[in-house]
Amino acid sequence: MSVEAGGAFICNTEDLTGDNEHLWVIISDPTAYPESVVVVNLSSCSDNRRYDSACVLKAGDHWYIRHDTFVYYREAKILTVQELNDADISHKTSVTPRVLSRIR
């Protein structure tokens, strides 16, 4: 997987992120901090729990998003680039620069 700002992935095991269901997005700039990145997950607003309304994405903001989805900042993680390269992840199409800007 190319590790870049806006890169999106699903972690196929819970070892790395503690979650294997949600889309994760790299929000930091790996060129500025090449050893590690900050990632956030996108979670459904329809879940029966309170959600952070700071950034709600809609269907069409990314092909993977099918309904209102929030950026779960509380679950943000700092991962090393090596951890990402070694992990069992499925790379998804990166978010657009506009969506990345909204998430940041």
pTM of the shown model: 0.90
- Give pLDDT tens digits along the chain (104 positions): 678 999 999 988 777 877 778 899 999 998 888 899 999 999 888 765 677 889 999 999 999 999 899 999 998 999 999 998 888 888 899 999 999 999 99
Q: Where are the domains of the chain?
A: 8-103
The secondary structure of the chain as a DSSP string is ----TT-EEEESSHHHHS-SSSEEEE-S-TTTSTTEEEEEEEEETTSSS---TTSEE-TTSSTT--S-EEEEEEEEEEEEHHHHHHS-EEEEPPPPHHHHHHH-
